[in-house]
Chain A
């Protein structure tokens, strides 16, 4: 196979592999440095705040459009979803209690 160890291309492949190893070690050292960590942290905070302001505008436009179309706003849908999840959990609690009750009744019947 071309670039295998037994072919003339092996030399090229060997150089490429060594380059990758060296580049890997160099980049690993860079990402492990405090300078990289601080830059990354600042970058994440900046990206989050910048996109948040853009998102704020998008959501405001969306809310106006929702009102105009007489459909629920994004926030209302989010609230609805949260309520549904709470309801699901309550129903699950009721199911658990009912199962427990049925089990106790079953035990009592068995005792009788």
Chain B
């Protein structure tokens, strides 16, 4: 039996908990996330391409840069939550040159944007910028959730492109099993009128709808359980900091263009277009079988957002001979930002990628490297001109 002092101490600590919890919740919305140093390399419309500051000297870095493509419905700082718990920070330490393509926050002016535009218009331009900035002819790419679908679109449309390796995380690809997810049940074509909904949106599917849709999949766990967890860990500052970062991420979503939402439901969810091979972009057939790059397909065993049934078959549709499938005992979000990620998934992913990020096989890209040589030539010409001028001046003085 605990002594009276211990009971009083416990009671006092318990009394301070509500105030601590309220403070943790209220400050979570401004919790500093994404603190790994980076610079903006390029922008187009709302999208931004960032390069993270390498932490290892160039000689120790892998020659092929890594481009991260996050889901277009969430902020990408899930990959860079806080120092010590950041995937991006981890990959930098492993010697990778890391780039992040942030889709940004779309507005009503982007209402016509489709998922095809993400994969066929925006991503190829970003990849070219990565090539130009890094001077590398090849780029490894990682896509997460909807980002993985965009990556597949890109890879299928650019089979002769610069993609060296492809990492797919929790990819909602195969919709042939209709009972697989509550999302597919909610948006079943028998009752969900996508045209009516999409056309009456204000150009975008608001982030609160996406956020609450995700939360409703496990309503009690998300609406109540999350706060019980905070209550339980309130006296552990490190744990509270993790909770705050995650709470901010969950409540800081981004909208999806109405066009992309409509296409997602109609073509991908109902039509299973990517799998059936019926999908075309600007008249070009999207054939997953034409993707031959080394691929790592990562699945979350307890994923309730993208059940394994939707992503475990990815390898069957690709033409890649170097195909690795990895099942991690985690949830959809916890797989990348959970307490075990740093010790489990991240090292596996880095090792797989490091093995395949050796010497480049393609010629150098057009862009920065070329510009550098042009700049050198220009400098030479200028020096020649200056020398000529100086000689002339000397002659005149004489």
Contact = CB atoms under 8 A, between A and B. Distances in A.
A28 interface: yes
A48 B201 contact: yes
Interface in B362-377: 366-367, 370-371, 373-374
Interface string B276-310: 00000000000000000000000000000000000
Given A7-B2, A100-B366, A103-B370, A89 B121 contact: yes
A42 B220 CA distance: 23
A45 B193 contact: yes
B374 A2 contact: no
Nearest to A103: B366
A37 B188 contact: yes
A31 B182 CA distance: 8
Interface residues of B, number: 46
A1 B2 CA distance: 10
A100 B221 CA distance: 53
Interface string A50-86: 0110010000000000000000000001100110010
A102 B374 contact: yes
Given A1-B10, A1-B13, A55-B202, A82 B109 contact: yes
A32 B108 CA distance: 32
Contacts of B200: 45, 48-49, 51-52
Interface string B183-201: 0011110011100110011
Contacts of B110: 85
B45 interface: yes
A24 B13 CA distance: 29
A94 interface: no
Contact of B197 (A7, A48, A85): A48
Interface in A85-110: 85, 88-89, 92, 96, 99-100, 102-103, 106
B191 A3 contact: no
Interface in B71-116: 107-110
A2 B10 CA distance: 6
B224 interface: yes
Interface string A21-45: 0011001100110101110111011
A13 to B, nearest CB: 9
Nearest to B188: A37
Given A3-B14, A20-B228, A99-B366, A42 B191 contact: yes
B44 interface: yes
Interface stretch (B30-38, B211-219, B317-325): B211-219
Contacts of A52: 200-202
Interface string B8-23: 0011011000000000
B187 A24 contact: no
B221 A24 contact: yes
A48 B196 contact: yes
Q: Which 3 A-B pairs have the closest CB atoms?
A: A24-B220, A48-B200, A52-B200
23 contacts: A1-B14, A3-B14, A7-B10, A20-B228, A23-B224, A28-B218, A28-B220, A32-B182, A41-B186, A41-B193, A45-B197, A51-B200, A52-B201, A52-B202, A81-B107, A89-B44, A92-B44, A96-B128, A96-B366, A100-B366, A102-B366, A102-B371, A106-B373
Given A2-B11, A24-B225, 6 more contacts: A32-B185, A40-B186, A45-B200, A48-B197, A49-B196, A89-B125
